[in-house]
Amino acid sequence: MPHSVLYTDAAFKEHGDASKYLLSQVPYHPAKRYFLPFMMGAIPEWRGKFSNKWLNKNLREEYGKLYAFVYSVNCLNYADWIARQINVPLIVHVADHSELFEKANITKVLKRCAKLICITEEMKSKYEVMLGRKDIEVLHNGAEECCFTLAYPNPVTFNEKNPLRLCFLGGLFSHLHGDCIEDVANAVSISRCNKKSIEFHLYGQINPSSFGKDMFREPGVTHHGIIMPLAKKFEIMEKAHCFVIPSSFDPKNHRHYRYSFPTKLPELIASGRPIISYGPRNTASNRLLEDHSIGIRIHERSVQKLTSAFSFVADRYSDLLKANISKRLTYNNIFSAEKVQRKLSEILNF
């Protein structure tokens, strides 16, 4: 269907420009010097206020509805404001939960939006109680077809010239991945000291930028930054031997993150590579992996268990690949992007 794409994170500007998407950085910098640009419509937001002038200059077409994939209350408030300005129904798709979504002014938006979609069943259950809505849909990202057809690594014998490549693909956030991702780096370092051929490669933004600096000094641990264009992602996935899914063991952070899971999880499953999930048991990620008997799931904080898991993957790699090959068709029926797109079209068709 004809549509326009507006995104709010300047970290993805290169990809956004290449795709001809519209950047509307929200929130913008609150410094006083940005007041005049805000008043002139040069920037979309300043200190919680949104610019009609900016909106009218940049969104000139007529739209029938607004679909908002939101990961913060800032995104939600902005989407709600735009929908009211252009007088269209708002469909909200919540990707990440935090206690801010439980504030009265935010629940008001979630109650009145035309459609509400949650990323996991766990989030849906919480929001049904929190909002009193019984019409909430569940929809998470799907895997593109090329993920199901990635070539398998060859050779599968690991040595100095062909080390076991662990991979973390996605944004690295201190409140989501702290108190767990450090253990992975430490376990890699210990494994290398024990003469194991292993590397850990991380791709994506880091927030805050200072997070993980000590970790990236560990031998064999490399952060590559944000990799664009997205086509590069599939090349990275093809080179990876095993994916790591970390989830914070910090009780305060886990309290909210357990309702979400990584947007790339279906793609990682589709790749057929082994997956090591490291984090508390009662997360949406681990529930999904457990439901489908996928991956190695470590629910106790333990560097020793991680090193053992690395050794297991390296020693049994051929067997693990063969087992995943036999399940690829099943995974395609469950996690394909085509299936997700059909369901989203049905939700939007009202």
Domain CATH number, residue 259: 3.40.50.2000
pTM of the predicted structure, to 2 decimals: 0.85
Same-domain status, 113 and 168: no
- Domain membership flag for residue 168: yes
Same-domain status, 190 and 69: no
Q: Which helix (H) or strand (E) holds 325?
A: helix 317-325
Q: Which residues pair with 6 in a beta bridge?
A: 22
- Domain membership flag for residue 223: yes
Same-domain status, 74 and 157: no
Same-domain status, 112 and 245: no
Same-domain status, 238 and 323: yes
Provide the residue type at 242 as one letter. C
Same-domain status, 99 and 184: no
- In this prediction, residue 231 carries a pLDDT of 66
d(CA 25, CA 34): 13
Grouped pLDDT means (10 residues each) for the chain, 350 residues: 87 86 96 97 97 96 96 96 98 94 98 97 96 97 93 86 95 88 96 95 88 86 77 88 95 85 92 96 92 96 98 96 89 94 95
d(CA 246, CA 176): 8
- In this prediction, residue 42 carries a pLDDT of 98
Same-domain status, 152 and 130: no
Same-domain status, 88 and 104: yes
Buried residues in 13-43 as b, exposed as e (16+ CB within 10 A): eeebeeeeeebbebbbeeeeebeeebeeeeb
Structural domain count of the chain: 2
Same-domain status, 177 and 318: yes
Most distant pair of Cα atoms in the chain: their distance: 63
- Domain membership flag for residue 1: no
d(CA 344, CA 259): 20
Same-domain status, 137 and 156: no
- In this prediction, residue 119 carries a pLDDT of 95
Contact partners, residue 16, CB within 8 Å, separation at least 6 = 7, 22, 23
Same-domain status, 138 and 161: no
Strand arrangement of the beta sheet that strand 221-223 belongs to: 221-223, 198-203, 164-169, 242-246, 275-278, 296-298
Domain with 90, as residue range(s), is: 6-142+339-348
Same-domain status, 137 and 214: no
